[in-house]
Amino acid sequence: MGKMRLFIVFAAIAVFSISCKEDATIDNPYDDQVPENADGEVTIDDKEINPISIQGLHKNIFKPTCANSGCHDGLFEPDFRTVESSFNSLVNQEPIKNDEVDLLPARVVPGDHARSMLIRRLEEDLNNNSGIMPLALEPGSDWEQKKAEYIQNIKDWIDAGALDSDSNSREVLDYPPQLEGMIVVKNGNIINRGGRYNPINVPKSHGSVDVWFAYKDAESAFSEFTNMRWNNSIHFMDYDSLAWRTMTYEATPMSAVGINQEQVDHHFKFTLNLSTYEAGDVIWLRTRVEDAENQIELPNDNSQYNTLKYCTIRLY
């Protein structure tokens, strides 16, 4: 291996051992540390996190009470594992399961907690068959004691624009209009509906009646709706696509109880001629309206059966 190469190897080892020798002068900073609880947990000094920020909601609510194993731990949405996954699976995200009557556009609608499914699921048993969140509590969860405060924190975050962790807001989407009510009027008198979702019974002898519709749209004024039309059929899901006719916007509405059992203004009207129908016929009605962003048929093929039935007239 040649004398020279051997010399180089030994010289390198000598240099290395001299330079690696523990220098008695370097202090070990941990030597002076007096361990408060030597065998205890290292405590993190929790900085004050704004409880109505997404970080605060995640720390106080979503992580300890919702992202439990087998629940919102990535298995299904909303995903409450991190601040970001919580934000992205809540804001402007369409719910998987909706309220059968009072459809909500998103899990969180920035600026509007009343139309946010997140709040609905914390306060109501959706459709009386879903339970109220959280469905179960981890041992040690402070949810029961702080429930009212926590729900108010979430409402305040939503109403303040549902800001992300950098205090940016997502744009408020222009959600489609929703059906709020349908009434039948003869000579200015509203014809009673036999039950919440029951057809409206109308004597054929009336000849023709006025039908009024009511909608809900938080982003667009009713007077800005365009292309309002109606259609009718005695066949449940079968409408003549050429039979869509104009429905008018009436600035002076007819006020009456709507599909959600609340008093609502019906601004849209058309006249239905009954002469071509027989007593006993059930007339199924559909409408189409457009706002700045959306065109929608209400009710439509995806509507709940109760909603389809709500928009019918039975002749006698």
Residues that bind ligand HEM (CB under 6 A): 61, 65-66, 68, 71-72, 77-78, 95-97, 107, 117-118, 121-122, 130, 133-136
Cβ 173 to ligand HEM shortest distance, Å: 16
Cβ 20 to ligand HEM shortest distance, Å: 55
Cβ 112 to ligand HEM shortest distance, Å: 15
Alpha helices in 58-195 (DSSP H): 83-88, 117-123, 143-159
Closer residue to ligand HEM, CB minimum distance, 80 or 215: 80
Closer residue to ligand HEM, CB minimum distance, 107 or 267: 107
Cβ 135 to ligand HEM shortest distance, Å: 4
How far, in Å, CA of 32 to CA of 66, rounded? Answer: 43
Q: Count Cβ atoms within 10 A of the Cβ of residue 110 and give its class: 0-12 exposed, 13-18 middle, 19 or more buried.
A: buried
Closer residue to ligand HEM, CB minimum distance, 78 or 258: 78
Cβ 225 to ligand HEM shortest distance, Å: 28
C-alpha distances in angstroms, 216 versus 34, 69, 118, 127, 225?
66, 38, 20, 20, 12
For the chain, how big is the Rg over CA atoms in Å? 32
Closer residue to ligand HEM, CB minimum distance, 77 or 174: 77
Closer residue to ligand HEM, CB minimum distance, 287 or 303: 303
Give the DSSP H/E element, type plus range, for residue 18. Answer: helix 3-20
Q: Are 214 and 265 in contact (CB under 8 A)?
A: yes
